[in-house]
Amino acid sequence: MADMHNDRTRAEAIDWHLRLEHGGEDDWHSFTEWLEADPAHSRAYDSVANAEGELDAVLRHAEFPAPMPASDTVEPVESMGRNLWLRRAAIAASIVIVGALTFQIAQPASTYSIATGPGETREIALADGGTISLNGNSEVILDRDDTRSVELAVGEARFEVTHDARVPFTVTVGANRLVDIGTVFNVSRDANLLRVGVAEGAVRFEGSGHSLRLGPGDVLRARGDSIKTTSAPAEAIGSWTGGTLVYDDAPIADVAADVGRAVGVRIAVDPAIGSRNFSGVLQTRGGAQMVRGRMGPVLGVRIEDTTGGWTLKP
C-alpha cells in the first residue's frame, strides 16, 4: 500500500515540475496547497528537481549529432506531446538512477527505512524482542548493524523496549536523543514540534542543552530551544494504538495533528480557536467521516472541507 502511495506521489511531483515551468499564479497557488497537503509531497518534489538537475548535467557533457538546418515547419502537436511524455519518463528514470547512486554513496548500506501511508499503521518487531508501533504518515530509520538505535524521521511511533543497561536503546529525533531506562514510551514529530510521553519505566531526554529524566505519566513538548513538561495518565500515553485518543488540557493543534494522522486527512486549525485546549476522549475507529462526525461535537467546533483536508472552525 505504501509503495503505491509513493509511486502516485512521485508521478504527481513530476507533473507539477513540468507544469510550473510555464505556470501562472493559479498554478503556483495550487502547487502550494499540494505541498502542504502531505509532508511526503515536499520530499518527492525535491527528489524530482534534484534528479533532473543531475540529468541536465549529464546531457551538457554528452555528444550529439550536429543539428539539422533550421526549418519554418511547426512541430506537430503529436510530436510535442510525445516529447513531453519522453521527458516525463526521463525524469522518472533519472530519479531511480540518481537515487540509487545517492544511496550507495551517501547512505550507509546497513540503514533502511520503514514508512506508512495516510491512515495506515504498522507493527515492527525488533531483533531484541521489542516492538515499534508506527502511526499513519510516519517513518522510522533503522540500522541492521545497530539494532538498539532508531531514528524517527517524521510522524509518530510507540516504542516498547527490551531494557539492557549495557546497551541502552536510543531514539534520535532531529537534534534530540531519547535514551531508554526500561520503557514503554510514545514519540511524535510534527514539523518543528517534538512530543514525548512515558507510559512505563523511564526515558532520558537529551537535546537543546537539556538532559531530563521522564517517568510514567510525564509528557515533554520541545519546540526549538523551548522545552515544557506536563503530566498525563500513564495509561493514556500511546493509546492511539487501540483507536483511542485521550487528552488532558492539550492544545487543539495537537488534537488536530493526532486525528489527522489516524484517519489520513490533513486537519488545519482556524487561528480564532488556536489558543483553545481540550480535555476528553476521541475514538478514531470507523473511518474518516465517522471520526469527523464525532470530532465536531466533542471539540465544540465546526469542521469545514478545504483543499486537501479539513479546517476546524469556531
Return the CATH fold of 111-236. Answer: Jelly Rolls (2.60.120)
pLDDT at residue number 182: 80
Q: Are 236 and 223 in contact (CB under 8 A)?
A: no
Of how many residues is the chain composed? 314
pLDDT at residue number 17: 74
Give whole-number Cα distances, 69 to 36, 65, 268, in Å.
Answer: 47, 12, 56
pLDDT at residue number 59: 44
Say how far apart CA 203 and CA 178 lie, in whole Å: 6
Q: Are 142 and 112 in contact (CB under 8 A)?
A: yes
Say how far apart CA 53 and CA 231 lie, in whole Å: 49
Segments in the chain below pLDDT 50: 54, 56-80, 98, 100-105
pLDDT at residue number 21: 66
Give start and end residues of each alpha helix (H) in 107-243: none
User: Does the domain spanning 243-313 belong to CATH 2.30.110.10?
Assistant: no
- Hey, which residues does 115 pair with through a beta bridge? 139
The DSSP H or E segment spanning 151 is strand 149-160
Residue 13: name the closest of 126, 70, 95 by CA.
Answer: 95
Give whole-number Cα distances, 141 to 100, 134, 169, in Å.
Answer: 17, 12, 14
Maximum separation of any 2 CA atoms in the chain, in Å: 78
Tens of pLDDT, residue by residue over 41-58, are 767 766 766 665 545 444
Instruction: Put residue 155 in one of left, alpha, beta given phi > 0 → left and psi -120 to 50 → alpha.
Output: left
Cell numbers at residue 27, please?
498554478
Query: What residue segments make up the domains of the chain, in order of their start?
Result: 2-106, 111-236, 243-313
A 10 A CB-CB count for 158 gives: 22
Q: Are 228 and 251 in contact (CB under 8 A)?
A: no
Say how far apart CA 15 and CA 34 lie, in whole Å: 12
pLDDT at residue number 161: 93
Q: Are 51 and 89 in contact (CB under 8 A)?
A: no
